[in-house]
Amino acid sequence: MSRRLIAVVVTAATLGTGVAACASSSRGSGGAGSGTYMIWDPYPQFDADSAWAQLLAKCGTAAGVKVKRTAFDTTDLTNKVLLAAQQRNAPDVLIVDNPVVSTLAEAELLTTTTDAKLDTSAIEPNLLAAGQEGGKTYGVPIGANTLALFYNKAVLKSAGVDIASVKDWASLTAALGKAKAAGKKGITFSAIGTEEGSFQFLPWFWGSSAQLTRIDSPQAVSALTLWKDWLSRGYAPNSVINNTQTTSWQEFATGQYAFAENGTWQLANAEKAGFDYGIIPIPAQSGGTAPAPTGGEFVTIPVQGKTARYGVSAKLASCLISADNLYDTDTTLSYVAPTEAVQTKQVAATPGLKVWVDAVKAAKGRTSDNLGTRYPKISQRLWTAVQSTLSGSKSPQSALSAAQNAVK
């Protein structure tokens, strides 16, 4: 076992929960030459009768093998993979949250797409970047989601706001002021002290032209000042400090808010909200679409002791990311496809997805810019700075300066 793997496993064992159970796991019939291939995914919400499970079985049949699928929640999956690798018992195909790819690649647990002979030529470069580390690519995105602004049409109408006028931070802030003056509420979002808080702050951070390599820049300070001013003026509720993306959505669903920052995964809930809504991309400080962070998983092929298995593993992975299957898969997962051709098909079938396709095209991987495994440390300092500022214990400048010093 490599020193890098030892370090990552120790970290996972320290921070993770419920990982000890993996020690007794066994591949059973999954050994080389058995005709059974292991696929692990982070979709426990889909049972054996789901369209997703049926697709995995279909891909196995096409490759001439049987697929044994195991599903974990996202955090548990990462821990299970690290310990399975320690035991030389990794799955043949792994579908994992995109920020984790860099961690696994640095631990030397993943094959490159070049070695696995996976075709990435049709994948949007900004989405593929989340799976790149040290100039190499370690997986292929199965789809992506990101953030945008939902808005309540009735609230904006009562406030006299034309949504077409909302093009930058100044015009958005003006709209929030009009909503408050009309007796409504402005905007809700998640600023909780976890990765969710960083995820929601990043469009504003990047929209100011700030970079994660210097989180106390004047641009970064302007982004955090924007959020702080919204709370100070009563345009956003103090509850955002503890809001998850779910509880933030619940606030918007009351019908009292003009805007909510949230993602594609809320589309089904939006249809049930009982009021007319619209969606616009998150504006950058001076106009245009702000880069929002990409969510979504990558299809990867873990390193195996028996390299003869790679050929079939590549067939399984290629099946999952083929144009024939991406449309159905991303519809099931509420994702925007990672290729332009399938995105076009999605918009043709559901015109309302265009705003999400546009947002995904402008989106950015959290580990992009060659941040790799540095991103989680930066993110933790970033959400800590947001919490300190919004709670009133520090100014935006002092909070971000402390964060930058801690990162160093």
Q: Distance of CA 101 to CAs 105, 208, 297, 299, 302, Å?
A: 6, 27, 9, 10, 11
Q: How many residues does the chain have?
A: 408
Stretch (H or E) spanning 176: helix 169-181
User: What is the C-alpha separation between 175 and 391, in angstroms, rounded?
Assistant: 24
Structure confidence at residue 28 (pLDDT): 38
Closest CA to 261 of 233, 230, 287, 286: 230
User: What is the C-alpha separation between 354 and 343, in angstroms, rounded?
Assistant: 9
Q: Which fold has domain 3-141+297-334?
A: D-Maltodextrin-Binding Protein; domain 2 (3.40.190)
* H helices present in 40-124, as ranges: 51-63, 74-86, 98-106, 113-116
| Exposure string for 338-350, b = 16+ CB within 10 A, e = fewer | bbeebbebbbeee
User: What is the C-alpha separation between 114 and 29, in angstroms, rounded?
Assistant: 28
Stretch (H or E) spanning 70: strand 66-71
List pLDDT tens digits, range 24-51.
233 433 444 458 999 999 999 899 999 9
Structure confidence at residue 321 (pLDDT): 93
* H helices present in 16-64, as ranges: 51-63
152 within 8 A of 179, measured Cβ to Cβ? no
Structure confidence at residue 52 (pLDDT): 93
Amino acid symbol at 61: T
Any residues with CB less than 8 A from the CB of 70 and at least 6 apart, and which? 38, 39, 40, 41, 91
In the numeric block, which tokens belong to residue 97?
């949250």
List pLDDT tens digits, range 119-147.
999 999 999 999 998 899 999 999 999 99
Stretch (H or E) spanning 156: helix 153-158
Task: Give the position of tokens 């679409």.
Answer: 289
Structure confidence at residue 34 (pLDDT): 54
**pLDDT tens string for the chain (408 positions)?**
444 443 443 333 333 322 222 222 334 334 444 589 999 999 998 999 999 999 999 999 999 999 999 999 887 898 899 899 888 889 999 999 999 999 899 999 999 999 999 999 999 999 999 999 889 999 999 999 999 999 999 999 999 999 999 999 999 999 999 999 999 999 999 999 999 999 999 999 999 999 999 999 999 999 999 999 999 999 999 999 999 999 999 999 999 999 999 999 899 899 999 999 999 999 999 999 999 999 999 999 999 988 899 999 999 999 999 988 999 889 888 899 999 999 999 999 999 899 999 999 999 999 988 888 899 999 999 999 999 999 999 999 999 999 999 998
Give the number of other Cβ atoms within 10 Å of residue 112's Cβ.
Answer: 20
For CATH 3.40.190.10, list the domain ranges present in the chain: 3-141+297-334, 147-293+369-407
135 within 8 A of 114, measured Cβ to Cβ? no
Q: Distance of CA 128 to CAs 7, 102, 113, 363, Å?
A: 26, 12, 11, 11
Give the number of other Cβ atoms within 10 Å of residue 69's Cβ.
Answer: 20
Angle between helices 169-181 and 218-232 (to 10 degrees): 10
User: What is the C-alpha separation between 236 and 257, in angstroms, rounded?
Assistant: 9
404 within 8 A of 377, measured Cβ to Cβ? no
Structure confidence at residue 2 (pLDDT): 43
The class of domain 147-293+369-407 in CATH terms is alpha beta
Closest CA to 9 of 78, 77, 81, 82: 82
Any residues with CB less than 8 A from the CB of 260 and at least 6 apart, and which? 149, 150, 151, 187, 188, 189, 248, 249, 251, 252
User: What is the C-alpha separation between 142 and 127, in angstroms, rounded?
Assistant: 10
Sign of CA dihedral 289, 290, 291, 293: negative
